[in-house]
């Protein structure tokens, strides 16, 4: 786990290259090409969803890959790498870092322990996707290697806002000893720069770069308000 994080420069941009099954860019080598374009332009890491894209992207670029699997489980709100089954698949696919939902829901803070242990036992680092300061502190105690603000706004008890959660980012950066990753609703280079200035070790940008349908929708909405 130590070796993977040493591959990452001290600071930089990680581009999230993801497309769900119902989205236009899903399938084939589209996300691998997105990853190659991102790395050519200076991205120091890639975050991606699904075994096929993890494998393709690892073959395409020579930067650390954060892997996750989004899975809907009936009756559960845990969506990002919910079980050990997904962790095993991500590790087998060659991801350098596994991203896990580590929120305080459905007894998750206890259930996630064997998932973290499995990744670490196979030399793979763990990124905790959290939504509140308390979850970030808990994640550090659990032994994760990175903490991401990914799920702020996606749990009912975290701030529901359009802009990035800079307040959460600042509190975590001041309170934990491991790297903090700014992720979630970062739409502009100015947002990314502010996140880094706030103390983030890394900034993850996804939708603003790799989901053209969402970028287009923002333009259409802006024009319709004129």
Instruction: Determine the Cα–Cα distance for residues 24 and 139; give it in Å rounded to an integer.
Output: 34
Judged against a pLDDT cut of 70, whether residue 4 lies above it is answered with no
For the chain, the first-to-last Cα distance in angstroms comes to 51
**pTM of the shown model:** 0.96
CA distance to 34, 77, 155, 209, per residue, from 43 (Å): 11, 31, 28, 11
Instruction: Determine the Cα–Cα distance for residues 153 and 217; give it in Å rounded to an integer.
Output: 20
3-state secondary structure of 182: strand
- 181 forms beta bridges with 148, 202
> What are 77-89's pLDDT values in tens digits?
999 999 999 999 9
What per-residue confidence (pLDDT) applies to 6?
A: 61
Q: Do residues 163 and 152 make contact, with C-beta atoms less than 8 angstroms apart?
A: no
Query: Which domains, from first to last, does the chain contain?
Result: 2-224 (3.20.20.70)
What per-residue confidence (pLDDT) applies to 9?
A: 79
Instruction: Determine the Cα–Cα distance for residues 141 and 7; give it in Å rounded to an integer.
Output: 23
> What are 168-183's pLDDT values in tens digits?
999 999 999 999 999 9
> What are 193-225's pLDDT values in tens digits?
999 999 999 999 999 999 999 999 999 999 998
> What are 134-188's pLDDT values in tens digits?
999 999 999 999 999 999 999 999 999 999 999 999 999 999 999 999 999 999 9
Q: How far is CA 114 from the centre of its chain?
A: 20
What per-residue confidence (pLDDT) applies to 8?
A: 79
């Amino acid at each position: 786990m130590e070796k993977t994080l040493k591959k990452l420069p001290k600071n930089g941009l990680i581009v999230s290259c993801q497309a769900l099954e119902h989205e236009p860019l899903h399938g084939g080598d589209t996300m691998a090409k997105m990853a190659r374009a991102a790395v050519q332009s200076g991205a120091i890491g890639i975050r991606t969803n699904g075994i096929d894209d993890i494998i393709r992207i690892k073959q395409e670029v020579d930067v650390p890959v954060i892997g996750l699997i989004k899975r809907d489980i009936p009756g559960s709100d845990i969506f990002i790498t919910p079980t050990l089954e997904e962790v095993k698949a991500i590790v087998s696919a060659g991801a350098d870092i596994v991203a896990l939902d580590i929120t305080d829901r459905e007894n998750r803070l206890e259930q996630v322990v064997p998932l973290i242990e499995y990744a670490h036992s196979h030399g793979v680092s763990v990124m905790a996707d959290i939504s509140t300061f308390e979850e970030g502190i808990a994640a550090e105690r659990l032994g994760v290697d990175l903490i991401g603000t990914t799920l702020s706004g996606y749990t009912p008890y975290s701030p529901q806002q359009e802009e990035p959660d800079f307040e959460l980012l600042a509190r975590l950066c001041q309170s934990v000893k491991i790297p903090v990753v700014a992720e979630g609703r970062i739409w502009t280079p100015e947002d990314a720069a502010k996140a880094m200035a706030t103390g983030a070790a890394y900034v993850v940008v996804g939708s603003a770069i790799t989901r053209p349908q969402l970028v287009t929708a923002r333009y259409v909405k802006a024009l319709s308000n004129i």
